[in-house]
Amino acid sequence: EPEVTQTPSHQVTQMGQEVILRCVPISNHLYFYWYRQILGQKVEFLVSFYNNEISEKSEIFDDQFSVERPDGSNFTLKIRSTKLEDSAMYFCASSVLTVADTQYFGPGTRLTVL
Amino acid sequence: GESVGLHLPTLSVQEGDNSIINCAYSNSASDYFIWYKQESGKGPQFIIDIRSNMDKRQGQRVTVLLNKTVKHLSLQIAATQPGDSAVYFCAENMGAQKLVFGQGTRLTINP
């Protein structure tokens, strides 16, 4: 069964450093998403992406964040200058369509900012 | 506003019993609802969904009920098994390209 994959599973970085989290969405899906989950809290939407453009973003997704689809399979989330409060699980998701279509989530990357 | 919440943060049931997890939502314009299961250290796993033109949908051992009048969603799991132990999230889609998640209910299955 096709699934969303993410690398690395755990990333440790120093505050102020740049990190890139990588995702490979399900191959026939057209919409891609990033969510985050701070430990013990609910999953929060960050950004959605379609046709090489950001479709929607939350207030969390500020200028420190960016997304990219560098090739036909990868979807990345970059945090330019990490802060302590960026420590969280970051989940990538994808869906065939959008607006009331099932989003399938990857296993997540645990980001720890020291 | 955007608010999807859960009535109970934890729920313990005996193995073999049925469980019901509840969720309240605030946006009457929401038209699509999903239940996800999250096991420790893993990503949310799709369980079942329901659209606003339905009030009930059944899957394998799971049933989702939607009451639009009181903006309430529930997940029923029949004949619970140890593998059902997890945190369960409801999420809603309000016609935008994002899901709004509730806080989650931790379901524990006792042997």
Report the CATH number at residue B92: 2.60.40.10
Structure tokens of A70? 């560098």
**Is B32 an 8 Å CB contact of chain A?**
yes
Q: Where are the domains of chain A?
A: 19-95
Among A97, A77, A91, which residue's Cα sits nearest to residue A30? A97
Q: Are strands B86-93 and A10-13 parallel, antiparallel or unpaired?
A: unpaired
Q: What is the mean pLDDT of residues A58-64?
A: 94
CA distance B84 to chain A (A): 18
Number of Cβ within 10 Å of residue A22's Cβ equals 17
Instruction: Name the band, by pLDDT with cuts 50, 70 and 90, for residue A16.
Output: very high
Q: Do A91 and B102 lie within an 8 Å CB cutoff?
A: no
Phi, psi torsion values for A85, nearest 5 degrees: -75, -5
Q: What are phi and psi of B81, to 5 degrees?
A: -125, 160
How many Cα neighbours within 13 Å face the side chain of A91?
24
Residue B52 sits in which domain range? 4-110
Confidence of residue B4 (pLDDT cuts 50, 70, 90): low
Could you report the per-residue pLDDT of A68-96, keeping only the tens digit for each? 998 888 999 999 999 999 999 999 999 98
Average pLDDT, integer, range B10-23 = 95
Average pLDDT over residues A34-59: 92
Better-predicted residue by pLDDT, B25 or B59 = B59
For residue B53, give the 3-state DSSP assignment: coil
Question: Could you give the percent of chain B with pLDDT greater than 70?
Answer: 92
Q: Which residue from A31, A33, A43 is facing B89, i.e. has the nearest CB? A: A43
Residue B7 has pLDDT above 60, yes or no: no
Q: Which residues of A47-57 are buried (b: 16+ CB within 10 A; e: fewer)?
A: bbbbeeeebbb
Which residues does A62 contact at the CB level (< 8 Å), separation at least 6? none
Do the chains contact at A55 and B31, CB–CB below 8 Å?
no
Domain count, chain B: 1
Q: Are B98 and A107 an interchain contact pair (Cβ–Cβ within 8 Å)?
A: no
Structure confidence by residue, pLDDT tens digits, B74-108: 999 999 999 999 999 999 987 677 889 988 899 99
Specify the CATH number of the domain A19-95: 2.60.40.10
Q: Measured between CB atoms, which of B31, B36, B96 is closest to A56? A: B96
d(Cα A18, Cα A20) in Å, to the nearest integer? Answer: 7
How would residue A44 be classed by pLDDT, with cut points 50, 70 and 90? very high
Of A98, A104, A103, A79, nearest in space to A22 by CA: A79
